[in-house]
Amino acid sequence: MPNITFSVSNELHERMKKYPEIKWSTLYRQMIEKYLDKLDHPNIMPIAELRERLKKKGITMDDIPLDKAIETYEKMRELKWERFYSTQTR
């Protein structure tokens, strides 16, 4: 398995040393894997995360009509596609 070295500030390192029971390399590996999963599948969001986001806005999934949800989903996919795959010029 390849090794990767991370640099952290002295302050962060001191904070990390307060928790010797944590395997920091395992935590980093899990975070990197989760981040890569999001990059590999940008249009997928766990339903619990979606519910939580809606809840913060005072909306439940039952409040959204199906046709509006489909319309919004298609628009979001289109915008995300443009953002990830288009060359932006200035």
Q: Where are the domains of the chain?
A: 9-41, 47-90
How high is the pLDDT of residue 79? 77
C-alpha to C-alpha distance for 87 and 90, rounded to whole angstroms: 10
C-alpha to C-alpha distance for 48 and 45, rounded to whole angstroms: 8
The whole-model pTM stands at 0.48
- The CB density around residue 34, as the number of other CB atoms within 10 Å, is 9
Which two structure tokens, joined as six digits, stand for 53? 């986001």
The DSSP secondary structure of 9-53, one letter per residue, reads -HHHHHHHHT-TTS-HHHHHHHHHHHHHHHHHSTT---HHHHHHH
Which two structure tokens, joined as six digits, stand for 86? 């288009």
C-alpha to C-alpha distance for 25 and 8, rounded to whole angstroms: 13
pLDDT in tens, 12-65: 999 999 999 999 999 999 999 988 887 887 767 778 888 888 889 888 888 888
**For residues 72 and 33, which has the higher predicted lDDT (pLDDT)?**
33
